[in-house]
Amino acid sequence: MKITVIGAGYVGLVTGACLAELGHQVLCVDNNPEKIALLNAAGVPIYEPGLQEYLARNRAEGRIHFTTEMNEAVDHGEVIFIAVGTPSQEDGSADLQHVLAVASQVGRHLKNFKVVVNKSTVPVGTAYRVQAAIAIELRKRGIQDDLFEVISNPEFLKEGAAIDDFMRPDRIVIGLDKGPHHDLVQQKMEQLYASFNRHHARTLWMDVRSAELTKYAANAMLATRISFMNEVANLADLVGADVDSVRRGIGADARIGHGFLYAGTGYGGSCFPKDTRALVQTALDCGSTMKVVSAVEHVNDSQKTVLLQRTLQHFGNDLNGLKFAIWGLAFKPNTDDMREAPSRVVIKNLLMRGAQVHAFDPVASKEAMHALTLDMADQPQALARLKIETSAYEATENADALLVLTEWKNFHHPDFALLKTQMKRPLILDGRNLYDPQWLEDLGIAYQGIGRRNELALQLGRPTEAQPAESAMALS
């Protein structure tokens, strides 16, 4: 089939590359000429494992192309995917200006029947707004507005595992309402995804509004599990329990399972924060409230400050003259995405309190420096105390403490003997529970994880100048 993907961002590129891998003829269009030039020159604007290989192979075999010309893109595809950004507005609702602008452009160039697919994460009712935007442009041209059908086909891609998620889907959700084109649209979408349904039916057909809500509900549920376990971890610290044992104990229940039950420093990225806010705002717009989801957001915001609070509990609020090493900057491993990353909260607050920060991330160094420069735009002197290192051990040299913020695999088994020799203080604050507390204690390294039944003060003793740490509400 001939497929058009509008938007060469994260979702658009993964969708286009994977559909090309399945043998479809894909044309990706984006209004950013620099991005398209990079893609045409065999570059990739984002980091996602496997994406570069997929793009290179299918570019070489002529199954995927890139353009800035919308008329060409609309003419090309039998099915047109809209995969542009829907960032949060100030009130938390999704900003649909890019989606609706694309819909209008499609209407200006539409000549024959197309299936228009909302792939972007959008609030309930967006398909009808897209349909109206296209119809307005068709009527301006004196063309009947029955040349298209708008459906919902939300993505369920995890950053860092997006290729695998697309090529081995748990389910394919398609929202299609009853109408004159129902059978034709269903036939085209079945043909598009035939490879995934050959041995096991993975497509879930439903109405458009249900499909739109399914995406938000799925992300809100996953975010809820993360925040729930973070609350359990914080309680485990208070009562002397080990959250890792608790996680295994409750995860063994088949009704619960093990996924998304790892305590840490909170979630970030482009999906969970944005989608939980949008779901809360959707409910408010309908005169209702999402009390659980609102609580999930509050817990997550507080959790991003946990390692910072522990640092201040040990060293006091004045961090002048102290050096802190950071391992991990991206919000999760296998991505360079810095959106809503906990590292941004931690590093900003360390710098504002006078600390030197030396950080390392295997992939996200460039994106991290860009994000932190924006965060600290009004504090250039503080930003000058930040250095992004080219190796993990460069960051820990002469450090007063090591804070682990992202669970990259190359952080799982460090040379602890080297760390103990390098660092001024053998102190690790582990925000991802990568290490065994007892083992590190036996090695003479002070350690504190999240809910791991180990009290840092008993191991190392707090400096006499330490003051009570500021509350989470005072940290930003």
Task: Write down the pLDDT at residue 372.
Answer: 97
Q: Is the pLDDT of residue 143 over 60?
A: yes
Average pLDDT over the chain reads 93
Q: What does the DSSP assignment read for 166-197? A: HHS-S-EEEE---STTHHHHHHHHHHHTGGGS
pLDDT, mean of residues 69-83: 97
**Class for the domain spanning 216-300:** mainly alpha
At 471 the pLDDT is 46
Domain ranges across the chain: 2-206, 216-300, 304-474
**Look-up: residue for tokens 């039998």?**
78
Structure confidence at residue 475 (pLDDT): 58
Which DSSP helix (H) or strand (E) runs through 441? helix 437-443
Please provide the DSSP assignment of 368-387 as one string: HHHHHHHHTTT-HHHHTTEE
* pLDDT higher than threshold 70 for residue 468: no
User: Across residues 234-239, what is the average pLDDT?
Assistant: 92
Catalytic residue among 18, 28, 271, 286: 271
Cα–Cα distances (Å) from 367 to 235, 301, 342, 374, 375, in that order, read 34, 22, 14, 11, 12
Output DSSP code: residue 28.
Answer: E
pLDDT score recorded for residue 476: 56
Lowest mean pLDDT among 291-300, 359-368, 391-400, 459-468: 459-468
CB neighbour class for 266 (10 Å; exposed up to 12, middle 13-18, buried from 19): buried
Backbone angles phi, psi at 82, to 5 degrees: -95, 115
pLDDT in tens, 396-432: 999 999 999 999 999 999 999 999 999 998 999 999 9
304-474 domain in CATH 2.40.110.10?
Answer: no
Q: What is the pLDDT of residue 184?
A: 97
pLDDT given for residue 91 in this prediction: 87
Write down the pLDDT at residue 456: 58
- Confidence band for 466, pLDDT divided at 50, 70 and 90: very low
Measured distance CA(437)–CA(170) in Å, rounded: 36
Give Cβ neighbours of residue 74 (< 8 Å, ≥ 6 apart). 4, 80, 105, 106, 109, 110, 111, 114
- Say whether 271 is catalytic: yes
pLDDT digits (tens, 9 = 90+) for 288-343: 999 999 999 999 999 999 999 999 999 999 999 999 999 999 999 999 999 999 99
- Quote the pLDDT of residue 465: 44
Instruction: Provide the whole-model pTM.
Output: 0.90
The strand order across the sheet containing 356-360 reads 386-388, 356-360, 323-327, 401-404, 427-430, 446-448
For the chain, how many residues are written? Answer: 476
The dotted CATH code for 2-206 is 3.40.50.720
Strand positions, DSSP E, 285-406: 323-327, 356-360, 386-388, 401-404
How would you write 211-262 as a 3-class SS string? HHHHHHHHHHHHHHHHHHHHHHHHHHHHHCCEHHHHHHHHHCCCCCCCCCCC
pLDDT for 92 equals 87
With cut-offs at 50, 70 and 90, classify the pLDDT of residue 90.
confident
Residue 308 · residue 341 · CB < 8 Å: no
- Locate 388 and state its tokens: 């992004």
Give bridge partners of residue 386 from the DSSP assignment: 357
Distances from the Cα of 50 to the Cαs of 13, 17, 43, in angstroms?
Answer: 12, 10, 13
- The percentage of the chain sitting over the pLDDT mark of 90, rounded to a whole number, equals 89
Q: How many CB atoms lie within 10 A of CB 257?
A: 12
Domain pair 216-300 / 304-474, same fold: no
For the residues 240-250, what does the mean pLDDT come to? 95
From the CB of residue 72, how many other CB atoms can be counted at a distance below 10 Å?
Answer: 14
